[in-house]
A and B are shown apart, each in its own frame.
Chain A
Amino acid sequence: MRKLALPDEILLQIDKPARYIGGEKNSVMKDKSLIDVRFVMCFPDLYEIGMSHLGIQILYDMFNSFEDTWCERVYSPGTDLDAIMREREIPLFALESQDPVKSFDFLGITLQYEMCYTNILQILDLSKIPFDAGKRTWDDPIVIGGGPCSYNPEPIAKFFDLFYIGEGETRYRELLDLYKKDRAAGVSREEFLHHAGQLPGIYAPSLYNVKYKENGLIESFHPIFDDVPKTVRKEVVEDLSKTYYPTRPVLPFIKATQDRLVLEIMRGCIRGCRFCQAGQLYRPIRERSLEVLKQYAKELIANTGHEEICLSSLSSSDYSHLQELLLFLIDECDANKINISLPSLRIDQFSLDVMNKVQDVKKTSLTFAPEAGTQRLRNVINKGLTEDDILSGSKMAFEGGWNKVKLYFMLGLPTETEEDIKGIGKLCNEIAKVYFDTVPKEKRNGQKIQITASTSFFIPKPFTAFQWAPMNTQEEFREKAYQTRCGILETLNQRSIKYNWHDTDVSVLEGVFARGDRKIAEVIEKAYEKGCIFDAWNETFHYDKWLESFDECGLSIDFYTTRTREDDEVFPWDFIDIGVTKAFLLREWKNALNEKVTANCRAQCQGCGAASYGVGFYCPGGK
């Protein structure tokens, strides 16, 4: 039996000790003496959050399929254990072997959202790995980042030896082979990083130099060696049906946030919403074949005994075999007493039929994401959903017995006016009207229509058409949320409408990190020293400490958030090539300002640049 890193005394006094013991079913144990490379994969948040993430499961499965490699996991210790580990100087350990993180060859950190940046420092700190990558030695693991936030790695570049840009399935084998070769040859850490930085998809921040202009903008960004590429091109899996898939996922003992099997059906999105980063990052669109998905579903069910399965993609309604897949799953799940958790589907007769079969109509709600209150603004953001789609979809659903509707909107979108904001209340009111017109009183069974409108604040992200856009100030955001509320209260059916919104502080920081440059690292370090950690969690978020940190570093938040960027500004992330070109995004930015809609990939190729990978499902020349 494995020996745990923490004594019983500690485990019996902390919240959810199961987070720290490993040993879950399907977790992988290997004989250390037969292993060349030890990799520990980190999701810098609590175990329950990290265990819900498919990406890590895919890479865990891939690494452990390599005979010479053992991949383990580590998550952020909760604040209770954090305090004890600091007090007693217990080093952070990996779950499987319970060995210190510092003893590993690689520490991989997935960057799923910006607000986890201080947690990265917690991980390094508790592992006793220097924050500054330049100060590390071969006694420290190679710290490598990946995931969506690595598409602008600059704010945290200082803390990482390497970043893997793109989909992890393609180049890790080469990186591990290079590592084995270089270690055997006895090269220095710097030299290894220099070699690694020449591999496709690998970005080694220490190999690049940034020069800033007096106004703080980037003057130049270039490699310091001639043999290091000027741009790093995103890695893409060519055939999703012929790659790794974790059909034997690790089963957490405690309930993970997403406690279900995940079937990833495709990557990429045809829609081209102008605010959406994922929609650009994961282009070109690639689908998994129906046959492969059926096989995966069967294996997942057999290998885990899970009670629920869900589909994962950016827009499941656009999967070309969705109907066949869902019908197959309904049969398979019915036979195995498994629930299907449906993704948000475009509401039509088919999806309502499916929902009716797998969900309790009384309990579930319809979900729409119009994102903006008027057609004008929806054209600006290129969101194809029309008011007619929403109203006719709602009508169909009300006839089918539904009476709960959830709507998601964004506030602070470019060109937004008071009319757009009032439009949110108006749209909700129209839906309520459809309900009262469609369902006669005697058929309502005492039920009422419940509409929930939620707004989030728009944050411009790199690699979107809106990367040039100014973000709203906090005052503007608060005023807009207030206007939204007033707009709803003015409507006839306001009693049927509930409005949710969140505070703005976190959004401001997210805005800074999203489009930040290398100068931001100092602020993150400072805030961490002041005690900032778990910034994504309300109870541990301290905005005042962040403001102090910006002040002390002499950096302006507005420079990163509310400033309008010129068309030809050099962005910190420009050295990354995701296929989609800056020229295309700029064209889209202009189209947005002209309220001009761009057709989706299926309807017509827009020449975004992703076709250069040669594998896009709808791309000219794609497979």
Chain B
Amino acid sequence: MKLRVRFSKFGPVKFIGHLDIMRFVQKAIKAAKIPVKYSEGFSPHQILSFAAPLGVGVESESEYFDMEVTSLDGCELFKGDLDAQMCEGMSILGVYLLPEKSKNAMASVAFASYRIVMHREDAKEYIGKAVETFKNSEHVLSYKETKSGVQERDLKEAVLEIGVNSKEIYFTVDASSGGNLKPATLMNALFKPFGIELKPWDYQIIRTEVCRADEQGEPVPLIYGLEQLS
């Protein structure tokens, strides 16, 4: 049986990288005595799949991992049991039943939504203009240096939705394995026309949702349509 677990990550733990969070979660699952399934072999490991790695420094309202369990007995307590093993800043938000044939969390990810809290004073006044300019442009090109030369990308194609809400920029972007758009890339492009070069610490990125695509190709949260167990 497969379960999908939703959790949040705020505060100092945002500096803990993806691999370390995975190790932390593995220990939490073990300490919570969740009947997680282990691989065979000399050093058995838990069968887990994390949705989309969260960058160092980024906070999140909605992260996901999938785990396989050997039994659903007591599954109404899984959320509480796991949450009791979390540290400051991490909370388990829900445990959901995943149909057997579903793709795992990582393979399902197609989009991610973010909101941005701007810290830098001189950038704050341009928030509205930056988003407007982006919306009104036909193309917004971004360049990335790779091994095979400079790669050009039209960010307009990777951004599904963008807007401003109570002084925060929010957007939903491509997060698929082939086309993941880093929020920082978009932020740089938004403010470049105003001569503002943003540093990663000038603003706080908060991921608000990780999504798959529904039948129409529209973003829906990874737990959309799943039965919540606890």
Contact = CB atoms under 8 A, between A and B. Distances in A.
A18 B20 contact: yes
B10 interface: yes
Nearest to A2: B12
Contact of B20 (A23, A254, A302, A303): A254
Contacts of A17: 15, 56
B128 interface: no
Interface string A225-263: 000000000000000000000000001011100000000
A35 to B, nearest CB: 19
B19 to A, nearest CB: 9
Interface in B1-41: 10-13, 15-17, 20-21, 23-24, 26-32, 38
Contacts of B85: 25, 305
A305 B201 contact: no
B193 interface: no
B89 interface: yes
A305 B29 contact: yes
A25 B87 contact: yes
A360 interface: yes
Contact of B10 (A1, A336, A339): A1
B88 interface: yes
Interface string A279-304: 00000000000000000000000111
A11 interface: yes
A2 B88 CA distance: 9
Given A18-B20, A253-B20, A337-B44, A305 B31 contact: yes
* Most interface-central of A4, A12, A253, A306 (chain B CB within 10 A): A253
Contacts of A2: 11-12, 88
A140 to B, nearest CB: 28
B144 interface: no
A9 interface: yes
Contacts of A440: none
A11 B62 CA distance: 23
Contacts of B27: 25, 251, 304-307
Given A1-B89, A9-B199, A336 B20 contact: no
Nearest to B23: A255
A51 B20 CA distance: 15
A39 to B, nearest CB: 21
A12 B56 contact: yes
A253 B30 contact: no
A9 B120 CA distance: 12
Given A305-B28, A307-B26, A339-B43, A1 B88 contact: yes
A17 B15 CA distance: 6
A302 B51 CA distance: 27
Contacts of B16: 18, 253-254
Contacts of A306: 27, 30
Contacts of A25: 24, 27, 85-87
B201 A8 contact: yes
B88 A23 contact: yes
B99 interface: no
Interface in A295-327: 302-307
Nearest to A308: B43
Contacts of A339: 43
Interface string A1-29: 11010011101100001100111110000
Contacts of B10: 1
Interface string A85-112: 0000000000000000000000000000
24 contacts: A1-B11, A1-B12, A2-B88, A4-B12, A8-B204, A11-B57, A17-B56, A21-B15, A23-B89, A24-B87, A25-B85, A25-B86, A251-B24, A251-B27, A253-B21, A254-B16, A305-B26, A305-B27, A306-B27, A307-B26, A307-B30, A337-B44, A339-B43, A360-B42
Given A12-B57, A18-B20, 15 more contacts: A1-B11, A11-B57, A18-B17, A21-B13, A23-B12, A23-B89, A25-B24, A253-B21, A253-B23, A304-B31, A305-B27, A305-B32, A307-B27, A337-B30, A360-B43
Q: Which 8 A-B pairs have the closest CB atoms?
A: A305-B31, A305-B30, A305-B27, A9-B201, A1-B11, A17-B15, A21-B12, A8-B201
